Amino acid sequence: MSLLGRAKCLANHHEPDRHRVHQTPFGMSGHCRHCGAEIVRYGFHDWRRGSFENAEAPQ
């Protein structure tokens, strides 16, 4: 966990842990490599805190 990473995290600009990223029906989801927060992919190199869990309808 670097200071630079934390600064980005505080600005809600996260970087995914490549080993913990997974595809969902709604897009890419994963965890931040710096702060461990649940994050979702909004665009190229644009990961923000959030989750698709609430959007997934139970089958």
Instruction: Report CA 18 to chain centroid distance, whole Å.
Output: 10
Q: Which residues pair with 24 in a beta bridge?
A: 27
40 binds Zn ion (CB under 5 A): no
9 binds Zn ion (CB under 5 A): yes
Distance CA 54, CA 26 (A): 11
* Cβ atoms within 10 Å, residue 32: 22
32 binds Zn ion (CB under 5 A): yes
Binding residue for Zn ion (CB under 5 A) from 28, 35, 48, 50? 35
Least distance (Å) between residue 2 CB and Zn ion = 11
Q: Which residues bind Zn ion (CB under 5 A)?
A: 9, 14, 32, 34-35
